[in-house]
Amino acid sequence: MLNTTRSKLIISFLSVSLLVGTVSLIVGGQMLYQSVLSETRNRVRQDLNVARLIYDNRVKDIKFSLEMTGVSSDCRPAMAAGDSSALNALLVQVTEQIGLDFAGVIGPDGRILCRIGQCAGPSRRLEGGNSVAELALERRQAVAGTVVLDSATLQAENPELARRATIRPLPIQQPRGIPLVEETAGLAIAAAVPIFQGGSLLGAIYGGTLLNRDQSIVDKIGDTVFKNEVYNGHNLGTATIFFRNLRVSTNVLNEEKQRAIGTYASSEVTQRVLIEGKKWTDRAFVVSDWYITAYEPITDIFNQRVGMLYVGVLEARYSDVRRNAFWVFAGITLAGMVLAIGLGWYLASRIMRPVNQLIQASIEISRGNFSPDIGQICKSDIGLLQKKFLKMTHALQEREQRHKEERESSLLQSEKQASVGKLAAGVAHEINNPLTAVLTFTHLILRRKDLAGEVRKDLETIARQTERVRKIVKGLLDFSRQTRINPEPINLNRLLRDCVRLMQNQALIRGIALEFDREENLPVLLLDRSQFQSVIINMVINALDAMEPGGKIHIESRGAKSGDADGVEVIVRDTGTGIRPEDMEHLFDPFFTTKEVGKGTGLGLAVSAGIIERHGGTISVQSEVGEGATFIIWLPLEPDGLCCPLDCVAA
């Protein structure tokens, strides 16, 4: 079944479809995934820029609010007078406006004039070393940015901030070699604005927000950038603020659907972002799932890397896009395969219909029908095959007709020869006995001495004519194949040379040259010497009769093949008048002759052909009128499987 042309065509279409589909599936799916991944990375980079903008805007808002408070009409008089109540009212107002976790006013000597929280009230010095306030006094200009507040500072500002800042790390993506140590310091964004009056420094207002466990920034990023979109129960977009490599503010959820506060960033991210200070944009494992992420370092007011800002998009969504694309491509491939099978079947049927008709026509021809129906001639290459097939059938018809005519002619000839042979054999037997008696008594009478001259002359005429009739009877017996051959090992060249010697004088008398050209070392043949010699002599005599003085007879012997059989050729060529085309087909018929009446019986060539056939050979003739004739005799080396080695012949 698989060896049929239809099956091969269908398999070819299917293979091409499968190959193209598979390549498209792999390459197209990968290109789509890479394109989506690249687009997602670009988007995540942009999202990180937006997150950074939200982060920086929060810092700017704090700084701007403190600056507005510092230039208000109530601030400078209250600071100059050391009115803590008035200053506290201002701090409470600004804290409520922008949501500060800590705020305070310090004098030029670092003494606390006022602050909010549980530790509110004046103090001799700024406990805990609030770095942003000290830096503003030192630089005598506004300072804003990220700061790290140790536990003592937070405790001094508000013990509640110290408790909120304390985070116990979770053993999720814990860096190797680093123990789980409770984090007590806090990451904050803060600002401090110096207050001047008449060129004199009155002090500074400071304030800020503790980022530990504060979700306002990450939630604003999630709302602004990702619209709080959820995919399969997970936030599609996430944001995180790291203190060093520890999550202190995030909307990433753990397996219990709680914010993953206290979990670590991966060691690769920590190394690249926090230590090397470079951005990271790649897929990363975040707490419990894979995300397309972007990280960048967070530097404090002293330009030291103290944390990281992160945004990420859930990879599962794009994996599902790739998976869906894979199944779409797979469906297209499957549809292409089904289409290929259908198309292959249809095309195979279209292509194979004329081919099948040709096959059926071939079967019809093998059964003897040389006019089969091959259908309509196609316009494609199959049409050329159909035309060639028709030419072949016409040629077969012509050959079959020719063979039929030849067979009929051969059968007719065989029947005629058989009839003539039977008739000749019967006549020869009936005539031979009385003819012998006539000839015998004629010779006995001729022995008498008392015969008159005229009577003797008549008797001699009777004897000659009787001898001629006897020869005719012998020819009839030979033609009727009553004479058996007696083969013996013969050196063909020697036999031909003997024939030439026998006929040499007769040729010289007629003024005709008789030549013999032989091929040396011809193999020995099994021949009836007498009968084969009569064949050569008969052909020489016929050639002599067909030529005028000055002609030439050439006899040649050579090795030759007939088909696959090895043999020897004897060629008798003359320069006589040639043979007319209409006489060629009757040349070997019995009693056919072109000689005058009384000069030939028409049995010579017929008898010669029979002798050659009985030796397993063939005889043919080539001639043109006025150009002479060439008789070619071919004899096999091993007639009927018999052979005779050279060493069986005496020298």
pLDDT band at 150 (very low <50, low <70, confident <90, very high): very high
Residues 44 and 124 in one domain: yes
Q: What is the pLDDT of residue 227?
A: 84
Residue 345 lies in a domain: no
pLDDT band at 380 (very low <50, low <70, confident <90, very high): low
Long-range contacts of 104-109 (CB under 8 A, 24+ apart): 104/130, 104/133, 104/157, 104/205, 104/206, 104/207, 105/79, 105/203, 105/204, 105/205, 105/206, 106/133, 106/137, 106/203, 106/204, 106/206, 107/79, 107/82, 107/202, 107/203, 108/137, 108/201, 108/202, 108/203
Question: Which pLDDT tens digit goes with each residue over 295-309?
Answer: 999 999 999 999 999
Into how many domains does the chain fold? 3
Q: What is the pLDDT of residue 309?
A: 96
- Mean per-residue pLDDT, 344-362: 72
- pLDDT surpasses 70 at 483: no
Q: Are 283 and 292 in contact (CB under 8 A)?
A: yes
Q: What is the pLDDT of residue 294?
A: 94
pLDDT band at 317 (very low <50, low <70, confident <90, very high): confident
3-state secondary structure of 192: strand
Q: What is the pLDDT of residue 147?
A: 95
CA distance 155 to 119: 9
Most confident of 63-67, 125-129, 466-470, 496-500: 63-67
- State the angle between helix axes of 84-98 and 29-70 in degrees (0 to 180), rounded to the nearest 10: 160
Range scoring the smallest mean pLDDT among 129-138, 577-586, 628-637: 577-586
Percentage of the residues of the chain whose pLDDT score is greater than 90: 27
Q: Last residue of a domain, which of 331, 357, 389?
A: 331
- Mean per-residue pLDDT, 493-504: 89
CA distance 573 to 516: 10
Residue 355 lies in a domain: no
Residue 344 lies in a domain: no
Residues 436 and 494 in one domain: no
- pLDDT surpasses 70 at 175: no
Range scoring the smallest mean pLDDT among 129-143, 182-196, 328-342: 328-342
Q: What is the pLDDT of residue 59?
A: 95
CATH number for position 43: 3.30.450.220
- Token pair, residue 4, equals 């049929």
pLDDT band at 128 (very low <50, low <70, confident <90, very high): very low
Range scoring the smallest mean pLDDT among 35-39, 195-199, 264-268, 377-381: 377-381
- Mean per-residue pLDDT, 594-609: 66
Domain of 48 in residue numbering reads as 17-331
Q: What is the pLDDT of residue 421?
A: 63
Residue 498 lies in a domain: yes
CA distance 241 to 252: 11
CA distance 522 to 524: 7
Q: What is the dihedral of CA 170, 171, 175, 176, to 10 degrees?
A: 150
Residues 50 and 149 in one domain: yes
Listed in sequence order, the residues at least 6 apart from 5 whose beta carbon sits closer than 8 Å to its beta carbon are 348, 351, 352, 355
Question: Which pLDDT tens digit goes with each residue over 393-442?
Answer: 778 777 877 878 877 776 776 676 666 666 666 666 677 778 778 878 88
Question: Which pLDDT tens digit goes with each residue over 557-585?
Answer: 999 888 788 899 999 999 888 888 877 77
Residues 526 and 600 in one domain: yes
- pLDDT surpasses 80 at 3: no
Residue where the block lists tokens 């013999």: 516
- Mean per-residue pLDDT, 368-397: 73
- If you average pLDDT over every residue of the chain, what do you get? 81
Residues 159 and 181 in one domain: yes
Q: Are 589 and 415 in contact (CB under 8 A)?
A: no
- pLDDT surpasses 50 at 642: no
Residue 359 lies in a domain: no
Residue type, 84: S
- Mean per-residue pLDDT, 614-637: 88
Q: What is the pLDDT of residue 209?
A: 95
Residues 325 and 273 in one domain: yes
Helix (H) / strand (E) containing 152: helix 151-157
Over 211-270, what HEC string results? CCCCCHHHHHHHHHHCCCCEECCEECEEEEEEECCEEEEECCECCCCCECCCCECCHHHH
- Mean per-residue pLDDT, 160-169: 93
Residues 509 and 574 in one domain: yes
Q: Last residue of a domain, which of 294, 314, 331?
A: 331
Q: What share of the chain is helix, strand, coil (3-state, %, to 5)?
A: 50, 20, 30
Most confident of 82-91, 139-148, 283-292: 139-148
pLDDT band at 650 (very low <50, low <70, confident <90, very high): very low
pLDDT band at 253 (very low <50, low <70, confident <90, very high): confident
Residues 316 and 391 in one domain: no
Percentage of the residues of the chain whose pLDDT score is greater than 70: 83
Residue 493 lies in a domain: yes
Residue 4 lies in a domain: no
